């Protein structure tokens, strides 16, 4: 697995993908696939949010391709490893190497799982499981309706068993569970928190809110890197 991972990284160009790849269509993609990193949980881990039930796959594939979207996903994985986790570690004053995910499936039905959607899920899950293992601390799946159990039975076999064990499937009464893990100031208003990110087009707009945006944290990271190089 280690050898396969190294070979994949070489072939995919992951070491330089943050500089080499420019996902110019990101702002348009967000309109049809609301997602992004937003804040931290109470223990300092970055929080990643996907509103999967709002995805318009037909519109999405008119803006980008599956290949480019997968490259963007890998680029985000690399940014998390090289920037978000280290920044969160500095801010929390402890080592952070996992994240909390909120997956909102409101409105997602069996008919939503068309060929392109399943293809995307399979590709991203394979990359996540094979090449970025153990980066998930926990996942909250919220707004699960009556049809979600059937969807879950279809998707769960695609997941690594250890990953599946970290997932909490919740209905519409999920706010208290999220607020136990994430402070209201860090949680978007549409999940019962207080954050709106009005100057960035909403919490899943362009804010990318988190310690990795804090100039003081970035300075501390830079000083740490300089000290390590001097040693």
Is the CB of residue 158 less than 8 Å from the CB of residue 122?
yes
Question: Of 100, 102, 28, 12, which Cα lies nearest the Cα of 60?
Answer: 28
Residue 231 has pLDDT above 60, yes or no: no
Domain that holds residue 165: 1-229
Strand partners, 46: 40
CATH code at position 140: 3.40.525.10
Work out the end-to-end distance of the chain between its first and last CA atoms, rounded to an integer number of angstroms: 33
Question: Of 129, 139, 141, 138, which Cα lies nearest the Cα of 170?
Answer: 141
Q: If pLDDT is split at 50, 70 and 90, which confidence band does 230 have?
A: low
Q: What is the pLDDT of residue 228?
A: 56
Question: Of 211, 219, 225, 209, which Cα lies nearest the Cα of 91?
Answer: 211
Mean pLDDT across the chain, nearest whole number? 87
Residue 46 has pLDDT above 90, yes or no: yes
Residue 123 has pLDDT above 90, yes or no: no
pTM of the model: 0.89
Q: Hunting for tokens 């300089």 — which residue is that?
A: 226
pLDDT in tens, 143-198: 988 777 777 777 778 777 887 889 999 989 999 999 999 999 999 999 999 999 99
Q: Hunting for tokens 């990359």 — which residue is that?
A: 127
pLDDT in tens, 48-64: 999 988 888 888 889 99
Number of compact structural domains in the chain: 1
């Amino acid at each position: 697995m280690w050898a396969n991972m190294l070979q994949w990284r070489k072939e995919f160009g992951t070491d330089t993908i943050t500089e080499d790849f420019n996902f110019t269509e990101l702002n348009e993609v967000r309109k049809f696939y609301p997602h992004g990193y937003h804040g931290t949980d109470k223990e300092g881990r970055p929080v990643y949010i996907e509103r999967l039930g709002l995805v318009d796959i037909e519109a999405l594939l008119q803006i980008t391709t599956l290949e480019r979207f997968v490259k963007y996903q890998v680029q985000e994985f690399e940014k998390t490893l090289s920037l978000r986790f280290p920044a969160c570690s500095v801010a929390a004053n402890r080592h952070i190497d996992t994240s909390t995910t909120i997956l909102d499936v409101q409105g997602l039905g069996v008919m939503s799982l068309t060929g392109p959607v399943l293809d995307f899920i399979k590709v991203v899950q394979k990359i996540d499981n094979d090449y970025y293992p153990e980066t998930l601390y926990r996942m909250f799946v919220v707004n699960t309706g009556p049809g979600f159990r059937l969807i879950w039975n279809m998707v769960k076999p695609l997941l690594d068993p250890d990953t599946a064990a970290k997932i909490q499937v919740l209905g519409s009464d999920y706010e208290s569970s999220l607020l136990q893990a994430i402070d209201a100031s860090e949680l978007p208003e549409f999940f019962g928190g207080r954050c709106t990110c009005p100057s960035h087009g909403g919490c899943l707009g362009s804010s990318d809110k988190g310690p990795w945006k804090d100039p003081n944290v970035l300075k501390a990271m830079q000083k740490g890197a300089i000290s390590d190089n001097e040693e």
